[in-house]
């Protein structure tokens, strides 16, 4: 779990926090579940990480987990 938290912190530092995609304003971030789909490289992850950084900062209230990260693949989400 510590590795996943370190990845979360690294991701928050790396993503651009100045430019927000137009879709960011249209997403109901208070929904219980949000599905964002689209082609690779269109900014889906960037938008999610920007939202986490903007709303939660460095608190432990949110955690970005990349499902394809090797630690997640070997450990699992449960």
Task: Tell me: pLDDT of 1 over 80.
Answer: no
Task: Tell me: pLDDT of 77 over 80.
Answer: no
pLDDT in tens, 10-65: 888 887 677 888 888 899 999 888 888 889 888 888 888 888 888 888 788 888 88
As a whole number of Å, the end-to-end CA separation of the chain is 11
Measured from the Cβ of residue 45, the count of other Cβ atoms closer than 10 Å reads: 15
- Residue 10 confidence (pLDDT): 84
- Residue 68 confidence (pLDDT): 81
């Amino acid at each position: 779990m510590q590795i996943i938290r370190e990845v979360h912190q690294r991701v928050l530092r790396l993503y651009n926090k100045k430019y927000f995609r137009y879709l960011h304003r249209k997403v109901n971030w208070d929904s219980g579940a949000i599905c964002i789909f689209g082609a690779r490289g269109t900014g889906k992850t960037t938008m999610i990480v920007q939202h986490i950084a903007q709303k939660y900062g460095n608190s432990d209230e949110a955690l970005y987990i990349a499902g394809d990260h090797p630690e997640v693949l070997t450990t699992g989400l449960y």
